[in-house]
Amino acid sequence: MWSIALPLVMPIYGTRPEAIKMAPLVVELRRAPGLECFVTVTGQHRSMLDQVNRLFGIVPDHDLNIFSPGQSLNGILIRTIEGLDKLFGVNRPDAVVVQGDTTTSTAGAIAAFNHGIPVVHVEGGLRSGDLRSPFPEEANRRMTSQIATLHLAPTATSRDNLLKENIPAAKIVVTGNTVIDALFAAVRVKVPFTDPALEKLAESGRPILLVTTHRRENQGGAMRGIGRALARIADAVPDMAVVVPLHRNPVVREALVPPLQGKRNVLAPEPLDYGEFCRLMAMSRLILTDSGGIQEEAPSLGVPVLLMRENTERPEAVSAGAVRLIGTDEDRIVSEVQDLLHDAKAYRSMAESRNPYGDGTAAQLSASAIQRMLGTPPDGPAN
Closest distance of CB 275 from ligand UDP, Å: 8
The stretches of the chain forming alpha helices (DSSP H) are: 16-31, 47-55, 73-90, 103-114, 137-147, 156-164, 178-188, 196-204, 221-236, 250-260, 274-283, 293-301, 315-320, 330-342, 344-351, 362-374
User: Which option in ligand UDP, ligand UD1, none does residue 209 bind, with CB closer than 5 to 8 A by kind?
Assistant: none
Taking the CA of residue 82 as centre, how many other CA atoms within 13 Å lie in the half-sphere pointing to its CB?
8
What's the rounded Cα separation, in Å, for the pair 95 and 99?
13
What's the rounded Cα separation, in Å, for the pair 294 and 309?
13
- Identify the burial level of 49 via C-beta atoms within 10 angstroms of its C-beta, where 0-12 means exposed, 13-18 middle and 19 or more buried: buried
Peptide bond just before 196 cis, omega within 30 deg? no
- Rule CB under 6 A: choose which of 124, 136, 225, 360 binds ligand UD1: 136
Verify binding: residue 44, ligand UDP, rule CB under 6 A: no
The stretches of 32-72 forming alpha helices (DSSP H) are: 47-55
- To the query of whether residue 160 is one of the catalytic residues in this protein, the response is no
Element (H, E) at 13: strand 8-13
Q: Which residue out of 123, 276, 313, 336 is catalytically annotated?
A: 123
User: Which option in ligand UD1, ligand UDP, none does residue 249 bind, with CB closer than 5 to 8 A by kind?
Assistant: ligand UD1
User: Which option in ligand UD1, ligand UDP, none does residue 294 bind, with CB closer than 5 to 8 A by kind?
Assistant: ligand UDP
- Rule CB under 6 A: choose which of 70, 89, 196, 380 binds ligand UD1: 70
- Rule CB under 6 A: choose which of 7, 34, 63, 71 binds ligand UD1: 71
User: Which option in ligand UD1, ligand UDP, none does residue 103 bind, with CB closer than 5 to 8 A by kind?
Assistant: ligand UD1
The residues in 160-219 that bind ligand UD1, with binding defined as CB under 6 A, are: 214, 216
Picking from 214, 207, 229, the residue whose alpha carbon sits closest to that of residue 326 is 229
Question: Nearest 5°: CA angle at 246, between 27 and 103?
Answer: 55
Strand, coil or helix: what is 11?
strand
Closest distance of CB 212 from ligand UD1, Å: 9
Verify binding: residue 293, ligand UDP, rule CB under 6 A: yes
Verify binding: residue 137, ligand UD1, rule CB under 6 A: yes
Question: For residues 284 and 210, is the Cβ–Cβ distance under 8 A?
Answer: yes
Closest distance of CB 4 from ligand UDP, Å: 38
User: Which option in ligand UDP, ligand UD1, none does residue 316 bind, with CB closer than 5 to 8 A by kind?
Assistant: none
Closest distance of CB 292 from ligand UD1, Å: 6
Within 10 Å of residue 257's Cβ, how many Cβ atoms?
A: 13
Q: Which residue out of 46, 62, 216, 332 is catalytically annotated?
A: 216
Q: How far is CA 199 from CA 195, 204, 241, 257, 268, in A?
A: 7, 9, 13, 22, 14
- To the query of whether residue 137 is one of the catalytic residues in this protein, the response is yes
Verify binding: residue 15, ligand UD1, rule CB under 6 A: yes
Verify binding: residue 124, ligand UDP, rule CB under 6 A: no
Part of the chain binding ligand UDP (CB under 6 A), chosen from 26-34, 225-233, 255-263, 292-300:
292-300
The residues in 306-325 that bind ligand UD1, with binding defined as CB under 6 A, are: none
Supply the DSSP string of 215-236, one letter for each residue.
Answer: -GGGTTHHHHHHHHHHHHHHHH
Closest distance of CB 104 from ligand UDP, Å: 11
Verify binding: residue 149, ligand UD1, rule CB under 6 A: no
| Residue among 180 and 241 whose Cβ is closer to ligand UD1 | 180
- Rule CB under 6 A: choose which of 42, 284, 291, 371 binds ligand UDP: 291
Verify binding: residue 13, ligand UDP, rule CB under 6 A: no
Picking from 292, 381, 286, the residue whose alpha carbon sits closest to that of residue 341 is 286
**Crossing angle of helices 103-114/73-90, nearest 10°?**
40
Q: What is the CA radius of gyration of the chain?
A: 21
Question: Catalytic residue positions?
Answer: 101, 123, 137, 214, 216, 247
Q: Which residues bind ligand UD1 (CB under 6 A)?
A: 15-17, 44-48, 69-71, 73, 101-103, 136-137, 214, 216, 248-250, 292
Q: Which residues bind ligand UDP (CB under 6 A)?
A: 16-17, 20, 179, 212, 214, 245, 271-272, 274, 277, 291-294, 297
